Amino acid sequence: MSIPETWHHGLVADWWAEFNHDGPEIEYFKRFVESGEPALDAGCGTGRLLIPYLRAGLDVDGCDASADMIGRCREKAELEGFAPNLYVQRLAELDLPRRYRTIVVCGAYGLGSDRHRDLAALSRFHEHLEPHGTLVLDIEVPYANTRHWALWAKASRVALPEPAIAPRSRKRVADGSELGLSVRVVELDPLEQTQILEIHAERWRDGALEAEETHRLNVNLYFKNELLLMFEQAGFVDIQIYGDHNDAAPTGDDDFLVLAARRKNS
């Protein structure tokens, strides 16, 4: 069985390292980490959550499927004098030397995977938690992106794949070059609840195209009740579900769901 693709490499990793460094999720998940250390940032990317947590003096490790993302995370951490434990591992194959009181999965679940691997990842999280340890995981609901949700209709899917386009704008990075990204939907299968996205990345310097890359991302799309069943199947208890990174009960108007659950005392 082939491993589903992810796009978090090369120029895309450069973009994440330069520009993906804020958001309300940082403070939201921080309180879970503060309540239970050591913690693991699973799918840590270039350190959007992990590095602020290190600044706060928290004991946090990180892992990610992309060696490029881990490399950028390590560089950023070292610039601030940190030397965190970082691992290049897929979530479904997690095998780390420590056990954790908290595992955080922010914006990573269901990406570059399939449903078999996603369920395996939940089991690996359960195995890596200390007794009574907490897993907290967020996921964007399928109907949050209006453009993508429209493609669930048969009449709209005939337009797939969407046409490839060059990035409409670019951002300047620290070395003086400029990066640009464009994303398109290649496939969407409403029966299997999966989609394939394609990202095109360009680096420009002094008005000339210096490099370009194209990567694909396999995305599994989940609704609330399927996630609850998967958590139960993986052995989690005391499963709580919240809306858009808050403590409120979820509603159909929330773009994200957050699930928090506990490992059994076994």
Q: What is the pLDDT of residues 108-117, one digit of tens each?
A: 999 999 999 9
Half-sphere exposure of 237 (CA within 13 A, CB side): 7
86 and 98 assigned to the same domain: yes
Give residue 5's pLDDT.
Answer: 82
161 and 195 assigned to the same domain: yes
Task: Label residue 266 by pLDDT band (50, 70, 90).
Answer: low
| Domain-located, residue 125 | yes
55 and 71 assigned to the same domain: yes
| Average per-residue pLDDT for the chain | 96
Q: How far apart are CA 240 and CA 138, in angstroms?
A: 12
100 and 215 assigned to the same domain: no
Could you tell me how far CA 12 lies from the centroid of its own chain?
A: 14
Give residue 1's pLDDT.
Answer: 57
Q: What is the pLDDT of residues 77-92, one digit of tens each?
A: 999 999 999 999 999 9
Number of domain units in the chain: 2
Domain that holds residue 165: 146-219
76 close to 49: Cβ distance less than 8 angstroms: no
| Domain-located, residue 257 | yes
116 and 228 assigned to the same domain: yes
Could you tell me how far CA 205 lies from the centroid of its own chain?
A: 29
Question: Over pLDDT 90: what percentage of the chain?
Answer: 95
| Domain-located, residue 4 | no
| Domain-located, residue 137 | yes
Burial 65-102, CB ≥16 within 10 A → b, else e: bbebbbbbbbebbeeeeeebebbebbbbebebeeebbb
Q: How far apart are CA 206 and CA 197, in angstroms?
A: 30
Task: Label residue 3 by pLDDT band (50, 70, 90).
Answer: confident
44 and 24 assigned to the same domain: yes
Residue labelled with tokens 């796009």: 7
193 and 237 assigned to the same domain: no
Question: Over pLDDT 70: what percentage of the chain?
Answer: 99
70 and 129 assigned to the same domain: yes
136 and 253 assigned to the same domain: yes
| Domain-located, residue 5 | no
| Domain-located, residue 38 | yes
CATH number, domain containing residue 239: 3.40.50.150
Q: Are strands 39-42 and 60-64 parallel, antiparallel or unpaired?
A: parallel
**Six-digit token pair at 262?**
């506990």
Task: Label residue 264 by pLDDT band (50, 70, 90).
Answer: confident
DSSP 78: H
Q: What is the pLDDT of residues 197-227, one digit of tens each?
A: 999 999 999 999 999 999 999 999 999 999 9
215 and 227 assigned to the same domain: no
pTM: 0.96
Q: What average pLDDT does range 11-37 have in this prediction? A: 95
Q: What is the pLDDT of residues 133-179, one digit of tens each?
A: 999 999 999 999 999 999 999 999 999 999 999 999 999 999 999 99
21 and 95 assigned to the same domain: yes
51 and 97 assigned to the same domain: yes
